[in-house]
Structures are given as C-alpha cells and as structure tokens.
Structure 1
C-alpha cells in the first residue's frame, strides 16, 4: 500500500520547525511529513534526509511568484545566498524588511502567509506525476532565458531585461559591457570568461573555423594610443569603447570594456573592488550618453554582466549591488536607457529578480531581533 502523501496541516508545523532551526541544524530532526514529500518529489537515493528536505524547500520556493513573496521566503528559510547559517531572528528581520514592516507584524502576519504558501506548493509538488517535477526543475531556467523584471528607481517604475544564457548569444542590444583588467588586455579567445566570449564572437571566422579578423584587441590598442595609455595601466573604472566586429550581425553595435580588475603582483589573480565596479558602470552610462546620437538610430540599450564575479572573485550579490547602485542612480534621474543583465546561473538570475523587492543583499546578517 502506497504511503499517503503529506497534507498542508502536517507540513506547516514542520516548516515552522525548519525556520527556527535553520538548514544547518536539520540533521537528526524528526520531519516525517517533509521527508515523505521529499521522497515523492526529489531523487533521494544518494541524499541524506536533511539534504533531501533542503532540495524540496528550494524547489517549492522557486514556484513562488518572483518578487517580495519569493524573496521573503528565501530569507525566512535560509535559502538566500549566504543566509543558511543565520540565526532565525536575523532571517526574520531581513524578511520583514522585504515587506517594509516591523519584525513583530511580520511574525504575526506575513510569515504565516509565507510558510503557508511554501506548504501549498509542497503539496502540489508531491501530487505531480513521477518524473514531471524533476523535468520541470531541470528545465525551469533553460526554458525561460529572457525575462522582464519590473523594478523601481528613485520611486519611478523601470523595466529591466534579464538574459540567462552565454553572453555571446545576445541579440539586438546596442552596447554590451565587457569586464577588463586595467591594462585593457583581452584574454585568449579560447577561454571561458565574458571578455573571451565577446572577443571570440566579435571575430570573423572562415569556413573551417580559422580566424580571419580579430578586431577587439586592435581597437583596444588604438584606444590606448589615442588616450596616452599604451603599455601602462589605466585607472580602475576607466571605460574604453570599441566597435563590435562580427557581433554587429547580431544587432550589437558597441562593446564597452570596463577596467575593473587589478592584477595582483606575483600571481595570476586579480583584485576587484565594488567601488570600482560602481564607478565603471557610471562611466559606461556617461559614455553611452556621449555616443548615443553619433549612431543611427541612437544608442539606447545596454547589457551588463555581473562585473568582477568571475576571475575577480566578487560574490554575485556584491557585484550586482555595485552595478545596480550606479544603474539605479542614473534611472532615478529620469534616464530612459533600456537596461539588460546577462548571467549564466540560476543563482545569479534569482538575485537579479530580487531587485524589485529591494532584495539585493549587500550586507551579512543583521543584528538579532
């Protein structure tokens, strides 16, 4: 006889227990309803019960509407980036800030609603036919690689576009921002970075794949010569504008190389400071304004990767906060730029989707409350 699936009433008290304990303290706790649902929903053969429950919670929360509800749920359960070991009081305080209410009001009202929504989605997941949930989870991001994100900047509504795919697949965006080091030296085209991908996409290739033209390095050298920077480092935050080479066939008209990475002496590593990322984004928008009317039609759209989040080592949320600080300031002044973000991972995409809720995390756990 098949084990009956858990219902809402049995799940809710266990979700409250997980909220109190946190994900790092699930081991050894009795959570029969959640574990039963996890067995029905996730592939648990190689997982501990705690890991299976966490996977179930993550899947259920991804089913919530993007925005305040999902963001509050992630903080409440410790699923948001960097919060799994936060104490319950800090997670509750951060979730309350998403809704702009006091901790006490959140505890009595919003938190009950958030946990109830998670429970409802777990019930739905457990009732889906075998295999459907796994396929849905695997394809959730790949099936929707272009998203519109409604946000606010300085009190005015703005709309962002989120791309979840490799940067060289972008189409019909006037300007793509490419992260660079302060020597404006491009990586080899066979590498996996954003800058290498754009160099490769901008090149012209023959029928057998041979490179016929590799325009970006030459244009950067010419830019450096014009600005007296040949053979030396520029200041972090400098932006060099070049053509787009073969990317023009995809509707990309300019590449702006943002110098954010400073080589660390004696190593192959780089240092990237968030303040330099913010300065470079401000400069990108200034150069865009300078160049806009030199083109027909005028330049209007610009796409940002998470600058410094690759070899520079910045966590996604730190990079996004640094980029958004400059973008938000520009949009709040009334600029009508069409702003895009391009990311590769679901984790990074979820961070961009938190922008409408004011949920770009820039600090660690707040004080207990």
Structure 2
C-alpha cells in the first residue's frame, strides 16, 4: 500500500513531534510515573486526540490510516503516551461519535475530540475481563437519575479522565441484553479512584481501579438505548485493536532503531557487531517481522476506511503485531547485551511497555478465537 501525500505529511509531522517532545522525556516520565499532560495538550493542538471524529464535532475528520500512522509515531517516542492517545481516539471519542445524540456530542464529544477533556473506558472488572457479558456493576433507575454501583479494574486514564464511558447491568434477567452504557462525569459524587496499579511498564499512563459508590447520573447520561451496552462495548473492537497494533509497530520500530544504532557503535573482535553475521541476521529478521506486521495493520485500516467489515483482519493485525513487538524488543535487548538490561539504554523500558499489548484490547488467545471463528463461517 502506498500512502497519500497527506498521509505522509501527517506521519512526518507526528514523527518530528515524537522525537522532539516525547522521546527525550520518556525515561523520566517512566521513572517518576509522570502523566504527560503537557504533551497531550500539544498533541491535541495537532488534532491527534480526535483524529477520525468529523470536524462538525471538533475532530480532525481524518481517516483511520492517518490515525494508524500517528499512533505508530507517538508510540516510537513513548509507549505510555500512545496508549492514552489510542484509548482517547478509539473508545473515548469513537463510542459517543457513533452512539451519542446531538446533545451528548455537543457536551462530551466536542471537548474530547479537541483534547479539552480526556475520557476513559470502564468495562473490565476485577473478575471479568474477556467475558464482557458477565459484568456485575449495576445501574438502577431512581426517578430521573441512574444510580451506579460496582468496581471497574485496569482503567486507562481512570484518574486523569474527565468523563468515563461506563457499562452496567440495568436488567439482570436479560443477560447480555440487560447491559447499558453511560457517560459519567468523573466529578460525579460516588466516582472514586480506588487505587492506581503499580505496573511492569507504561508507568506514565495511569491504570486505575474505579469504585462506583451510589454514583448518581441524570437519565440523559444513558448512551444509546437501554440494553444496548454489550453491543456498544463490542462495536469498537476493530478500531481499538487496530490502534493497539499500531502502537506495537511504533515501539518495535524504536527498539529496532536503537539496536541498529548500538550495533554500529559497539565493536568486538576489531569491527562493529553489525558486521557479525549473527547480529546482522537477527536485525534482518527483526526488520522483516516489523514490516510484515505493518502491512497487516495497514490492510485492516484500509478496510475500516472503506467501510468494510474487518474484525478478523483487525484481530490478525493485533495478534501478530503484539507478539512480533515483544520478540523484536527482546532481540533488541539481546543485541545490547548487558547494557540492554539496564536503564542507561531505552530498550529495557520499551520491552516493559510493549509486553501488555498481548493482554489489553483482547488477549492473544481471544484474537485467535475470533480468527478461528471467522474461518469457520
């Protein structure tokens, strides 16, 4: 696939921003657990927080391929920032853009797409991950309000967000058709940040446990129709998985570039290790796997832009890219030798950041399940 001139310009602009405003600070943000709020404001000014939202609702009105390119470049600078940006685009903006009414779009989507607000996606619970239909959080109608009670787990931007997209059971007897979706301001009484998780990587992106303790929201906080929540939760899987696959490309590319640079600088037996066939072949395999993953991601994005179903292709891209990225980052550490294991070089941080990509937005085995079902149809 050949990029358009506009897409190349977007990629290049994001690459320049990432190299100047993300990569130099990524190590400190990771060490100090610093949320990159200023960098996000600058990304918002570039239109990166609502890229595929129509201009009418404050977005940049671009295509998914442009979003893929932007996320790859952001991830090459800092994996944690790319996760925040991916969630903001695919979930926080994507869901109200598709299911919100005009009043909800005016109140929430516009500021989200402009980056004036940040959003989070509250589906996962302490004992409910892949089986989204088994959530226990409830929302009970009380006059002209909904009262939400429950616990959500592993919520990206849960502490820093301004609005939460929350899934709760409104009809226990209806099973999956009894789940509804709500737009909940994080300032609402009863929205409580229970704790911030201590993670292996992506420490600049907060991952929170959120408690809903008699959290009251007005009746018009319901997003879509009552009982439509399960459908809404699954509807953005394609975009979300394409987004995570894109960040895998960026982190893997950053690790590869670091490994190539080090291989040219480090000398053994009288020559740079790049000239040793064992190292050179390893780098060749890394580059090949990265490019193969990129083509899968671009293909899924092109199908999305064409309005064609791409759940299988998005799952393939996410599965292959996430597993590729861990292998490439591991190989980058190996090329660095002992220095790859210490914080003086970026590859140990990138490896820690990329590992979770095989877990969130659908674990690898879930992707295989989706692909396998598609083959059976």
TM-score (normalised: structure 2):
0.26
Which protein shows a greater Rg?
1
Would you tell me which structure has more helix in proportion to its own residues?
2
